[in-house]
Structure 1
Amino acid sequence: MGSFSIWHWLVVLLIVVLVFGTKKLKNLGSDLGAAVKGFKDGMAHGTGSSDSAANTSAAPQVTADKASADKATIDVEAKTKS
């Protein structure tokens, strides 16, 4: 089957730019770069003390009362067959 030539890749790139547009591709690239940077920072923090890293990076837990829950939500209990 062989590998694709440079012309095949240029046609694919042209089609991608036409479909998504340059602005969306630029935003996608910057989001991907920020995600990679965040991953690297997280890995760097993960190699240090686990107690201090857990305390500084832990997000607060959000809880909700049943009164403030969405009225459209339906609670269902699963029952096992005997």
Structure 2
Amino acid sequence: MIGLSIWHILLFLLIVILLFGTSKIKNLGRDIGSAIKDFKESVKDNGKECIEEDNKIINLPLDNVQKISAEKK
């Protein structure tokens, strides 16, 4: 089992900061945040579209349904 202590994690973070620099890490965080925000908005918009489509289906005229039911009788 690999034992990771707080010192291992801090050393890893220090190496990452030295390699990439704080500006690149900040930009990466900003990019990930905006990607998550865009994903949440698209999921919310898709849900609204599904509800609108359901309402259109529910509000269809019943002429065709009445004709079909009359033909079955």
User: Normalising by structure 1, what TM-score?
Assistant: 0.57
Equivalent position of 1:11 in the other structure: 11
1:48, CA displacement in angstroms?
Answer: 1.4
Q: Any residues of structure 2 matched to 1:1-82 within 5 Å, and which?
A: 1-50=1-50
In structure 2, C-alpha distance between the alignment counterparts of 1:49 and 1:35, rounded to whole Å: 21
Q: Which has the higher contact order (CA 8 A, sep 6+)?
A: 2
- Give % identity: 49
Equivalent position of 1:77 in the other structure: none
1:39, CA displacement in angstroms?
Answer: 0.5
1:49, CA displacement in angstroms?
Answer: 1.8
User: Which of structures 1 and 2 has the bigger CA Rg?
Assistant: 2
In structure 2, C-alpha distance between the alignment counterparts of 1:39 and 1:3, rounded to whole Å: 36
In structure 2, C-alpha distance between the alignment counterparts of 1:28 and 1:47, rounded to whole Å: 29
In structure 2, C-alpha distance between the alignment counterparts of 1:37 and 1:3, rounded to whole Å: 35
Q: Secondary structure at the match of 1:49?
A: helix
In structure 2, C-alpha distance between the alignment counterparts of 1:38 and 1:8, rounded to whole Å: 34
Q: If each structure's helix is expressed as a fraction of its own residues, which one has the higher value?
A: 2
1:22, CA displacement in angstroms?
Answer: 0.4
Q: Which runs of 5+ in 2 are unaligned?
A: 53-73
Q: Which runs of 5+ in 1 are unaligned?
A: 53-82
Q: Secondary structure at the match of 2:35?
A: helix
Report how many residues are paired: 51
